[in-house]
Amino acid sequence: MSHPVENTPLQVTRTDIQIRPNNTRVLYRPFEPPTPQRAMKIIGRIMELTDDVVAAILQAVLAEFHGRHQRLLNFFEARFEAVKHHLLTDRPLTESQRLVIGSFFTQEYALESAALFNPSIVWHPCQDGLPPGTRRFILSLRAVGEGHVSSVGFRSGTVGPTGKIVVAPPTGFVTAPYVVANSDYDKSLFLRKLAELGITDGFLDLVFDLLEDRFSLAQLEQTLARISRQQRSRRKEWEPFAAAILALARANYEIDCDPSSDISERVIFPYSPAETNGIEDARFVRFVEDDGSVRYFATYTAFDGNVTLPQIVETQDFVRFQLSTLNGPEIANKGMALFPRRINGSYAMLSRQDGENIYLMESDMLHFWHSKTLVLRPTHSWEFVQIGNCGSPIETPHGWLVLTHGVGPMRKYSIGAVLLDLDDPSKLIGRLPLPMLSPNENERAGYVPNVVYSCGSILHEGTLVIPYSMSDYATSFATVPLAELLDAMRVTA
């Protein structure tokens, strides 16, 4: 069933789809005791056990948890390798001992136990096996679990020729990806980013004079350790700078998911120090290069509990993901959204550096942004507090369609829309005077009440498909005919 939206000039249609958080979807992740001494005590207690008791513990753990996860024994072995430096002797261990030790340094995490919201949507790389007029999509979702840590989860589904949306149910498994590599780094760009972060101490000269023009994370770590050994008297003084350098390096990395897994089993889980408290509000876009090649990008916000850091993720297949920092003096605040192609030879991105207005940024380099142009300011009462984008612009023959969010009285979030010129997106050519979607009585209760919000929509055969979150808790869909939406906009001179 579907229901027309009330109090709007548009025939926006809500669906009955609701994607709600599910606390039975758990993944395994490392358990880290609070101190090395605690880790040593845990291992010491295990080493006191007889082989029979160790085997019984392993059997009990597998009986309780093996059916909830895939490749669990491999993870136990990897966790043993990560903590074996706490062993007091070089005595060989049995396989059961290694696996049991690994199990004590593993925990389950319900990644979406609290909320599943702020969706974005792109067309799936694989469109095989579908009837005419039907297309397959990938939906990304901000999943929030224990400790209010955010990660990126996925679902898939289809949109039919009549606009009917079907979301495939998730499987019973979810598995965190493997970090396969940290990027290698360009010295000049790395130093430029450190300068932007305000890290300019003379310690940098000592470090980077010893590194080649391109260097790896391992080479950086070895150089820092070498300087620490040679300059013991200044070690404490330089520790914060060394930590900042490593944090920046570790914010650039690659992860791998199992290519045989269902898309709903994959997750982008926080890894770098900048992401300690989560990966927030990924805005995915299918990006087509001038030569016709296709990549998928998502801008997102890394949060360490104190500082938000805009970043970008890139993938071609939703199996391997490369996560990188965004750089430049205009990389600030949240809610950046990349255009789906170059404009006049340059990358383009919407932004909101000041927290209340929408800007346009253009750059010849995807990872560096140096200037901005004001495009939109809060104008109508329902957006007087602030205005921002609801995902990447969508190209239409009439202009770039940008869904916006506006914040009005009682901090109510509504979704609107504007139209930007195709050749000059700094030029506003159309704007809805009223919200397209505002929270109704069924949507206003949640973790953050009175909010509807989206991180990206798609266009299918003349119908705009809008996934949206309901009060920062769950996710639904709405649709609107594109022609009616364009007609409802007031064209500006």
Q: Is 447 exposed, middle or buried (0-12, 13-18, 19+ CB in 10 A)?
A: middle
CATH number of 2-23+111-179+252-491: 3.30.420.340, 2.115.10.20, 3.40.190.10, 2.40.128.20?
2.115.10.20
Question: Which two structure tokens, joined as six digits, stand for 19?
Answer: 């994607």
Question: Which two structure tokens, joined as six digits, stand for 245?
Answer: 């350098």
Q: DSSP alpha helices (H): ranges in 202-332?
A: 203-208, 217-230, 235-250
Note whether 420 and 427 are within 8 A (CB): yes
CB 35: neighbour CB atoms within 10 A?
Answer: 9
Question: Which two structure tokens, joined as six digits, stand for 100?
Answer: 């049991």
DSSP 412: -
Local confidence pLDDT in tens for the 493 residues of the chain: 444 443 446 889 999 999 999 999 999 999 999 999 999 999 999 999 999 999 999 999 999 999 999 999 999 999 999 999 999 999 999 999 999 999 999 999 999 999 999 999 999 999 999 999 999 999 999 999 988 999 999 999 999 999 999 999 999 899 999 898 777 898 998 998 888 878 888 899 999 999 999 999 999 999 999 998 988 888 889 998 998 899 889 889 999 999 999 999 999 999 988 898 899 999 999 999 999 999 999 999 998 888 788 999 999 999 999 999 998 889 988 899 999 999 999 999 999 999 999 999 999 999 999 999 999 999 999 999 999 999 999 999 999 999 999 999 999 999 999 999 999 999 999 999 999 999 999 999 999 999 999 999 999 999 999 999 999 999 999 999 999 999 998 655 3
Note whether 284 and 457 are within 8 A (CB): no
CB 427: neighbour CB atoms within 10 A?
Answer: 15
Q: What is the pTM of this model?
A: 0.91
Every domain range in the chain assigned CATH 2.115.10.20:
2-23+111-179+252-491
Note whether 480 and 11 are within 8 A (CB): yes
CB 420: neighbour CB atoms within 10 A?
Answer: 25
In what helix (H) or strand (E) does residue 65 lie, and over which residues does it extend?
helix 51-65
151 to 30, 197, 254, 301, 488: CA distances (angstroms): 16, 25, 15, 11, 36
Nearest one of 334, 324, 201, 214 to 274, comparing CA atoms: 324
3-state secondary structure of 268: strand
Q: How far apart are CA 446 and CA 449, in angstroms?
A: 5
Show Cβ contacts of residue 292 under 8 Å, excluding neighbours closer than 6 positions: none
Q: How far apart are CA 234 and CA 141, in angstroms?
A: 45
In what helix (H) or strand (E) does residue 351 lie, and over which residues does it extend?
strand 347-351
3-state secondary structure of 62: helix
pLDDT at 134: 98
pLDDT at 324: 92
pLDDT at 289: 96
Q: Where are the beta strands (DSSP E) in 223-336?
A: 253-256, 267-268, 278-288, 294-303, 308-315, 320-325
3-state secondary structure of 10: coil
What is the widest separation between alpha-carbon atoms in the chain? 83
DSSP 35: S
302 to 75, 141, 183, 312, 415: CA distances (angstroms): 26, 15, 18, 10, 24
pLDDT at 9: 63
Q: Is 133 exposed, middle or buried (0-12, 13-18, 19+ CB in 10 A)?
A: exposed
pLDDT at 1: 42
Residue matched to tokens 């008297």: 233
Rounded to 5 degrees, φ, ψ at 134 are -115, 135
DSSP 176: P
Q: Is 118 exposed, middle or buried (0-12, 13-18, 19+ CB in 10 A)?
A: buried
Q: How far apart are CA 409 and CA 16, in angstroms?
A: 28
End-to-end CA gap in the chain = 40
Q: How far apart are CA 279 and CA 172, in angstroms?
A: 23
